Amino acid sequence: MSTVTMSKASAGQPVVVAKDLKRVYEIRRGFLRAPDHLQAVGGVSFSVDAGKTLAVVGESGCGKSTLARMVSLIETPTGGQLHIKGVDAVNAPQEERQGLRKAVQLVFQNPYGSLNPRKKVSAILEAPLEINTTLTAAERAEKARAMLAMVGLRPEHYDRYPHMFSGGQRQRIAIARALMLNPTLVVADEPVSALDVSIQAQVLNLLADLQQSMGLAYLFISHDLGVVRHIAHDVLVMYLGHAVEQGEKSTIFAQPLHPYTQALLASTPGLAGSSAVKHRIVLKGELPSPLNPPSGCVFSTRCPHVTERCRAERPLLREVGDRQVACHYAENFLTA
Ligand SMILES: Nc1ncnc2c1ncn2[C@@H]1O[C@H](COP(=O)(O)OP(=O)(O)OP(=O)(O)O)[C@@H](O)[C@H]1O
Ligand code: SF4
Ligand SMILES: [Mg+2]
């Protein structure tokens, strides 16, 4: 994975490039008090190519959904740069941003909440075409039926309501809706977390198949490294709004260098026994409040290897052993 400075659109360029992307929220606690500042995402950089999946992992509250909302243009970054299909997605004229909105589609965690219960599948799938294209009703229906088949649902499902489906089927409908406008990038925020484990694999397989056939890029948000292992090409591990380790999945899973990544892997069923998990770090203590993050290394309050230097000096994200990692002592884990 590379962090690239963007130029104009050209073939083979990444679909999305984020550079030092930031989001700060103002928290007001009363009329007379100055607002507090919560840094939900504190400068994250990445790129995703067509046909590839970048998985963003980390505990609850580390900024994953905030990142997802920025990349899907729902929320404006407070700092950094975001280019989608070579276009400056933050500063482009309104019309161009509208075009980008169609190119980036979201799939949410909760297939129960994200589908309108009063609308039939037909209306749910055809709505994006009705709003954004000049297709006739017959053409819209044809496209919707074709998409239904692509996500593994049957023709008779077309006239049914969301409540008549299982959780996995509803997520298939949500995926179908996201694909109706032929997007370039799909941002999926915990898309299988609400599903039974047995159903998760089916939906992950579907996402992988659709990626292949449509050349889609995925930004795949998950707290579960077991899920990420199945779908990711690259991985970005976040802690308190910061990227602590990022690179190719195979590299990171084979030899995690950041103590936080090591802890995540060690606590993931099915991965905990892997030979890569040499440093059995058990995460102790609470995640610090993002309103009052630790000085120095963000992980310093929970890291078993912490030193005075870690508390004083924030480690920069830097290249170590074929990936980027933000730990002063990453080399020690490389040789261990
Ligand atoms: N609109 C908002 N206003 C203020 N603070 C917010 C807002 N949205 C998110 N936050 C805060 O930003 C931080 C990151 O939240 P975010 O939802 O991005 O985390 P997450 O990694 O998606 O967590 P989860 O795994 O629980 O979904 C949290 O501390 C959260 O409370
Ligand atoms: S910099 Fe220090 S506290 Fe941070 S992860 Fe590395 S060893 Fe732990
Ligand atoms: Mg979230």
Protein residue closest via CA to atom 14 of ligand 1: 63
User: Does ligand 2 have an atom closer than 6 angstroms to the CB of 297?
Assistant: yes
Is pLDDT above 90 for 7?
no
Q: Give the residue among 335, 320, 331 at the shortest CA–CA distance from 246.
A: 320
Q: What is the pLDDT of residue 9?
A: 39
Which residue has a Cα nearest atom 5 of ligand 2?
Answer: 327
Give 189 Cα–ligand 3 centroid separation in angstroms: 7
Least confident of 45-54, 188-197, 306-315: 188-197
Give the model's pLDDT for residue 31. Answer: 80
- Which ligand 2 atom is nearest residue 298's CA? 4
**Average pLDDT for 191-215:** 95
Q: CA-to-CA distance for 129 and 318, rounded, in angstroms? A: 44
Among the bound ligands, the one closest to the CA of 304:
2
**What average pLDDT is seen over the chain?**
91
CA angle 49, 55, 56 (to 5 degrees): 120
Inter-CA distances, 85 with 128, 169, 184, 221, Å: 21, 31, 8, 20
Nearest CA to ligand 2 atom 1: 327
Q: Each residue of 297-309: pLDDT tens digit?
A: 999 999 999 999 9
Ligand 2 atom nearest 315 alpha carbon: 1
Name every residue whose Cβ is closer than 8 Å to that of residue 153 and which is 6 or more positions away in sequence. 121, 169, 172, 173, 176
What percentage of residues in the chain have a pLDDT greater than 70? 92
* pLDDT confidence of residue 272: 61
pLDDT band at 4 (very low <50, low <70, confident <90, very high): very low
The three-class DSSP label of residue 51 is: coil
Task: Kindly state the percentage of the chain with pLDDT values over 90.
Answer: 81
Higher local confidence (pLDDT), 263 or 32: 263
Mean pLDDT, residues 74-79 taken together: 96
- Which ligand 2 atom sits nearest the alpha carbon of residue 258? 5
Q: Which ligand is nearest to the CA of 223?
A: 1
Is the distance from CB of 220 to CB of 53 less than 8 angstroms? Answer: yes
Of 21-30, 50-59, 143-152, 277-286, which gets the smallest average pLDDT?
277-286
Ligand 2 centroid–CA 287 distance in Å is 15
- Ligand 3 centre distance from Cα of residue 110 (Å): 11
Per-residue pLDDT band for 279 (boundaries 50, 70, 90) equals low
Res. 90 pLDDT band, cuts 50 70 90: very high
pLDDT > 80? residue 184: yes
pLDDT of residue 233: 97
* Distance, CA of 91 to CA of 336 (rounded, Å): 46
Ligand 1 atom with minimal separation from the 221 CA? 22
Pocket of ligand 1 (CB under 6 A): 25, 27, 38, 40, 58, 60-66, 223, 290
- The mean pLDDT value for 256-269 works out to 92
pLDDT confidence band for 3 (50 / 70 / 90): very low
DSSP 156: G
